[in-house]
Amino acid sequence: MSIASNNNPSVSSQRFWRVLIYTTLIVMAVFYLLPLFIMLLTSVKTLDEIRDGNLLTLPVQWTLEPWKKAWGTACVGLTCEGINGYFWNSIKMVVPSVAISTILGAINGYILTKWRFPGHRWVFALMLFGCFIPFQIVLLPMSQVLGFLGIAGSTAGLVLVHVTYGIGFSTLFFRNYYEAFPTELVNAAKIDGAGFFRIFWRILLPSSAPIIVVTVIWQFTNIWNDFLFGASFAAGEHAPMTVALNNLVNSTTGVKEYNVDMAAAIIAAAPTLLVYIVAGRYFVRGLMAGSVKG
């Protein structure tokens, strides 16, 4: 029986394709991981080894000095206190920006689908439009607004900028998700006596995990990786990680410390990687299964 099925041409051709597909995937994965691998290798080599050796050789003498230097003592611009301060700047900027834009996006999506008002289409269209305004166009008006509000050059100012920019996308995500959310559930809750926020909190939010994860990942990576707004509105000691990384790489006079640069770059990229690894697992579907038929 098993011999017969092994000789079956369709089974063996199936196996052939499977091998081919996996080989291709592995080759691609290695190819895409190569830069990260080289960055990691370079960051644990001494400068001498980097100069003498090949990019892909393993270090003879492993060292964590470049990491310590990047974190604590490397010179960014004129100060030589490493990038840790800027890393925290970015955290202080990203966490409130992501939280506020996600919450506002969720409430917007909720209103635009379940508490419609005349002209709701227009409001949504304008918000969508806001997603596609190029960054450069808003730089000048935005800096004027920040100056007027007295938060120019501060983390608070950056949070405002990112929330403003982020609402368009987070509203889009939540609106489309809640559009498919059964309105009968909302109606049932209305009759049960729940009000605007209680319906949101008790009925919609518990079923929103997938879209929250999507929005958080999207906003987190965009805001963390932003360079233009950071460079424009938060120079100096309030600069976010991305700006500081640029300054670090550019401000080393004399020898270029590739290992320190690489370590700093990995630190700068780490949070977004972490978010993908941790939150990506929660992309689950079918949370709504069984609530409503048809």
With contacts defined by CB under 8 A, how many residues of the chain interact with other proteins?
24
Verify binding: residue 294, other proteins, rule CB under 8 A: yes
Could you say which of 185, 231, 266, 279 contacts other proteins (CB under 8 A)? 185
Q: Contact 219/137 with Cβ under 8 angstroms?
A: no
x/- binding map, residues 145-184, to other proteins, per CB under 8 A? -------------------------------------x-x
Neighbour tally for 45: CB within 10 Å: 23
Binding part of the chain for other proteins, among 93-101, 162-170, 245-253, 285-293 by CB under 8 A, reads 285-293
Verify binding: residue 116, other proteins, rule CB under 8 A: no
Residue whose CB is less far from other proteins, 77 or 182: 182
Verify binding: residue 119, other proteins, rule CB under 8 A: no
Verify binding: residue 4, other proteins, rule CB under 8 A: no
Verify binding: residue 212, other proteins, rule CB under 8 A: no
Verify binding: residue 203, other proteins, rule CB under 8 A: yes
Could you say which of 9, 119, 254, 290 contacts other proteins (CB under 8 A)? 290
Verify binding: residue 111, other proteins, rule CB under 8 A: no
Q: Contact 94/85 with Cβ under 8 angstroms?
A: no
Residue 78 Cβ vs other proteins, minimum distance, rounded to whole Å: 54
Could you say which of 206, 253, 284, 285 contacts other proteins (CB under 8 A)? 206
Verify binding: residue 256, other proteins, rule CB under 8 A: no
Give Cβ neighbours of residue 151 (< 8 Å, ≥ 6 apart): 157, 160
Residue 78, φ and ψ in degrees, nearest 5: -95, -20
Binding part of the chain for other proteins, among 93-101, 199-207, 212-220, 229-237 by CB under 8 A, reads 199-207
Closest C-alpha among 237, 211, 243, 251 to residue 224? 243
Residue 284 Cβ vs other proteins, minimum distance, rounded to whole Å: 14
Q: Report which residue type is found at 249.
A: V
Give Cβ neighbours of residue 291 (< 8 Å, ≥ 6 apart): 182, 185, 207
Q: How open is the CA angle 159-151-242, to the nearest 5 degrees? A: 45
Strand-pair partners of 169 = none
Q: CA-CA distance, 161 to 151, in Å (whole number)?
A: 11
Residue 174 Cβ vs other proteins, minimum distance, rounded to whole Å: 17
Residue 158 Cβ vs other proteins, minimum distance, rounded to whole Å: 36
Residue 211 Cβ vs other proteins, minimum distance, rounded to whole Å: 15
Neighbour tally for 189: CB within 10 Å: 18
Closest C-alpha among 108, 160, 109 to residue 138? 160
Q: What is the DSSP letter of 59?
A: P
Q: Which two tokens stand for residue 247?
A: 């300054």
Q: Report which residue type is found at 21.
A: I
Q: Which two tokens stand for residue 90?
A: 């970015």
Could you say which of 194, 231, 235, 269 contacts other proteins (CB under 8 A)? 194
Verify binding: residue 287, other proteins, rule CB under 8 A: yes
Residues of the shown chain interacting with other proteins in the complex, contacts defined by CB under 8 A: 182, 184-185, 187-194, 198, 202-203, 206-207, 287-294
